[in-house]
Structure 1
Amino acid sequence: MFRNQVFAEREGTKLMADVYLPSGDGPFPAVLMIHGGAWASGSRSNMAAHALYLANHGYAVAAISYRLAPMHRFPAQLEDCQEALDWLVEHSQEFEIDTARIAGWGHSAGGHLACLVAAMQSAGTPSHPLLKAVVAGAAPCDFTNEPLLSHRLAFFLGGSRAEAPGTYEKASPVAHVTAKCPPIFFFHGTEDNVVPIGQAQVMHEKLTDLGIPSVFYQSQGRGHFGCLIDQDARQEALKFLDQQLKLEGS
């Protein structure tokens, strides 16, 4: 394991990644792992159990930090995730990573950012390496239905939707989905009272309508944080990644 790898420096803040490597010889499929915390808190260490789980199943994992709101508002978080992806590819030989097999994985705000990176790459000419699959837990995917005058997300998006409609749309993964979007595995607690389950379902349905492989796994009886520790969901997510990224016979 390689701890505290600096992948960028922004406004005097060093952004770091912890890289978990599987045993054996590469090149390995890789996962960019993004923590949650409402874009305002949390740490890459929160995802250590998931990172270790994937490393034990043959994946190189980079669990990253990113700039937090309200000091740093959107799109700072998106830019940091994209920068981390660039860095991971630039260091692919060091970590024995197959750059054609990189996925994103995140929970809550991290799930949102993973989906956003993937969806935005499909909506235009990519300027960053491509994610080939995403696993998104309890992810908010659509801010365009936020009440116009609500300031609930102003700390992150810079104002109400009435004040910053373009930002709310840009930050919504579902708004960027095209037929070029990579496959996504969603997992969400049926009792999530933080991020409504319909947030992920609407994006899953849009992907499915476009013929993109997508799975919508419901963690029965679990809430927002409970789905993060749902071992069945994690196992199904791993199966999904294996289908999308593992080479035959590996």
Structure 2
Amino acid sequence: MKNIFLLGLFFFSNTFFAQSNYSIDSSYTVKNTYTKLIKKYPFIEIAPELKNTNVTEIIDAVYGQNKNRILHLDAYFNETKKKNPAVVMIHGGGWRSGNKSHMKVMAQEIASNGYSCFAIEYTLSLEAKYPQGVYDIKNAIKFIKDNAKKYNVDPDKVAVLGCSSGGQMAALIGTTNKKTAFEDVNNKSKSSSKVQAIIDVDGVLAFKHPESSEGDMAAFWLDGTSDENPVNWKNASALTHTDKHAPPILFVNCSINRFHAGRDDMISILNKYKIYSEVHTIKDTPHSFWFFNPWFDETVLYATQFLDKIFK
């Protein structure tokens, strides 16, 4: 019995360390952001969690494995229909910090309006550089489509939504629908990672741009400055890939211009191909506005109205 116990402990320990043997930057949290903003915006409140009897929650579902650790997603799906449009949600944090729990409240709210929402864990820059995180999100999309029945998903109606650096990734994922260079060659799923809509909440569209001021955080993720690694800086910019294959896109932005660098140029291309786009700039708002009321409710309203227009 003692040997069995020790053997079990050995495997548990190995699993634990395999899952924990990577650096985590926990500096970007809702609470920390609230503490920074409350002095200038004394009226804000952290958006509360929503409990809706029509929404089923599955936390930490395994969708894949990256090197020595498992990757998870949190699912929030509406039970009233068997086929909901899906919304794949990407947290922010400068490609370095943050986690999937940051998307929980928004996922609950959007799911309650007839959607299946998925908050995705992905590889951050302390663990691996670009484009590994992009591969992870695309693999998660394939997993969701592979398991469409389980999560009440219509695999032909998938949107990708991201906030801040997650918004940058969402735009890149959507504009590279047709590009195999952004697919993980090790993923054997027969499903496509193609999405039919993008929601970019305060994510830049071009790293090297007159409006952009991305610096150390971008350089760390992109494995060098724009002078050291110009190829990554160009290829990681959604504006580079925007063409006739781009899906409809919603931009929700704060009042700080640098967080939508490249947006107007992208819209010009979308207009050329008659691809629908929509812009909402929330007046007098800081970055990370989506965590807090009154701006959270406004953000969700814009998102659900856009999703309803595209999918319903």
The answer as to whether partners of 1:35 and 1:107 remain within 8 angstroms in 2 is yes
Deviation (angstroms), 1:123: 5.2
Aligned to 2:66: 10
Q: Is the 8 A contact 2:95 2:165 kept in 1?
A: yes
Aligned 8 A contact 1:123 1:176 in 2: no
Deviation at 1:227, TM superposition (A): 4.5
Counterpart for residue 278 of structure 2: 215
State how far apart, in whole Å, the 2-side matches of 1:23 and 1:210 are.
Answer: 37
Cα displacement (A) at 1:152: 5.3
Equivalent residues of 1:111, 1:135 under 8 A apart: yes
Aligned-pair CA distance for 1:114: 0.9
- 1:233 maps onto 2:299 in alignment: yes
1:198 Cα offset (Å): 3.6
- Matched with 2:256 is 191
Q: Which residue of 1 aligns with 2:110?
A: 54
**Change over 3 Å in CA distance of 1:126–1:66 after alignment to 2:** closer
2:225 corresponds to 1:169? no
The RMSD of aligned alpha carbons is 2.0
Q: TM-score, normalised by structure 2?
A: 0.73
Label 1:10 to 1:198 Cα distance change in 2 as closer, same or farther (>3 A).
closer
Shift of 1:130: 1.5
Alignment of structure 1 residues 64-83 onto 2, 5 Å: 64-83=120-139
| Structure 1 contact 207–213 (Cα < 8 Å) conserved | yes
Mapping for residues 1-250 of structure 1, pairs under 5 Å = 1-122=57-178, 128-145=192-209, 153-191=218-256, 195-229=258-292, 230=295, 231-246=297-312
SS in 2 for 1:216: strand
Whether the aligned pair in 1 keeps the contact of 2:176 and 2:241 (CA below 8 Å) is: yes
Taking structure 1 as the reference length, what is the TM-score of the superposition? Answer: 0.90
Cα deviation 1:133-160 (Å, max 9, x = unaligned)? 111100111013389xx65522100111
Q: Is the 8 A contact 1:35 1:47 kept in 2?
A: yes
Alignment partners' CA distance in 2, 1:97 and 1:28: 5
Structure 1 gap ranges (5+): none
How many residue pairs match? The answer is: 242
Question: Which letter does structure 2 place at the counterpart of 1:35?
Answer: H
| Contact persistence 1:19–1:62 (CA under 8 A) | yes
Residues 108 and 137 of structure 1 are in contact (CA less than 8 Å); yes or no, is this contact kept in structure 2? yes
- Structure 2 unmatched ranges of 5 or more: 1-56, 184-191
Q: Work out which of the two has the higher radius of gyration on C-alpha atoms and give 1 or 2.
A: 2
1-structure distance, mates of 2:291, 2:205? 17
